[in-house]
């Protein structure tokens, strides 16, 4: 049975707070990603500077972007970042669900919220990159309408995907299972 988070809260630029749980989610995301790449770090201080900057000051790092947090009660249990549009498209980054809360539809709800935000903003193409070993994430993205596309990122092991929709009625059609 799929259970959704109590709420998905959209936090737009200028509305992030230091105590909203985003830094902890980003820390977990980056530590897991670096470990999967074979570059384990014991804690956030050992992460590359660009990732530490996101963790230490997400309000500045994502000042032009839209950040969604999934909440279970008052606890942040998932996040996703949608970049500000560039060349008519946005990018989904940092999709993460706390491992203790997986299997409840949180990632699907976050993707749906991200796609709805893009549709409301008139963005018709949303892209993302995902490490090829994250097969469950790739399957989720495909269920949500993303398709593998030519790579725009030269890093070895990345799968690039896009979601496109025609301009028109706002989607209730961006449902992810």
- The total number of residues shown for the chain amounts to 177
For residue 173, the Cα-to-chain-centroid distance in whole angstroms is: 19
Mean pLDDT across the chain: 86
Domain 7-164 in CATH 3.40.50.970? The answer is no
pLDDT for res 18: 59
3-state secondary structure of 141: helix
In sign, the C-alpha dihedral spanning 55, 56, 61, 66 is: positive
Mean pLDDT along residues 142-162? 94
Instruction: Convert the pLDDT of each residue in 113-145 to its tens digit.
Output: 999 999 999 999 999 999 999 999 999 999 999
Where is pLDDT greater, at 97 or 14? 97
Instruction: Convert the pLDDT of each residue in 46-85 to its tens digit.
Output: 999 999 999 999 989 998 999 999 988 888 999 999 999 9
Q: Which of 168, 2, 12 is nearest to 84 (CA)?
A: 12
pLDDT for res 16: 60
Distance CA 84, CA 66 (A): 7
Tell me: pLDDT of 1 over 70: no
Tell me: pLDDT of 15 over 50: yes
Per cent of the chain over pLDDT 90 is 67
pLDDT for res 19: 64
Q: Which of 74, 154, 85 is nearest to 114 (CA)?
A: 85
Mean pLDDT along residues 99-109? 92
Mean pLDDT along residues 32-54? 96
Tell me: pLDDT of 160 over 80: yes
Distance CA 76, CA 17 (A): 12
């Amino acid at each position: 049975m799929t259970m959704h988070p109590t709420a998905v809260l959209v936090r737009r630029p200028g509305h992030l707070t230091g105590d909203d749980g985003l830094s902890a989610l980003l820390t977990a995301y980056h530590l897991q990603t670096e470990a999967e790449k074979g570059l384990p770090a014991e804690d956030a201080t050992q992460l590359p500077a660009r990732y530490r900057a996101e963790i230490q000051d997400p309000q500045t790092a994502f000042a032009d972007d839209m950040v969604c947090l999934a909440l279970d009660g008052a606890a942040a249990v998932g996040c996703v970042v949608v970049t500000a549009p560039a060349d008519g498209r946005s990018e989904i980054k940092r999709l993460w669900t706390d491992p203790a809360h997986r299997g409840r539809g949180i990632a699907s709800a976050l993707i749906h919220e991200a796609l709805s935000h893009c549709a409301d903003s008139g963005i018709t193409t949303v892209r993302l990159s995902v490490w090829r070993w994250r097969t469950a994430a790739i399957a989720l993205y495909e269920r949500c309408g993303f398709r593998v596309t030519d790579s725009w990122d030269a890093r070895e092991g990345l799968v690039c995907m896009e979601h496109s929709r025609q301009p028109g009625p706002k989607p209730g059609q961006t449902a992810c299972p």
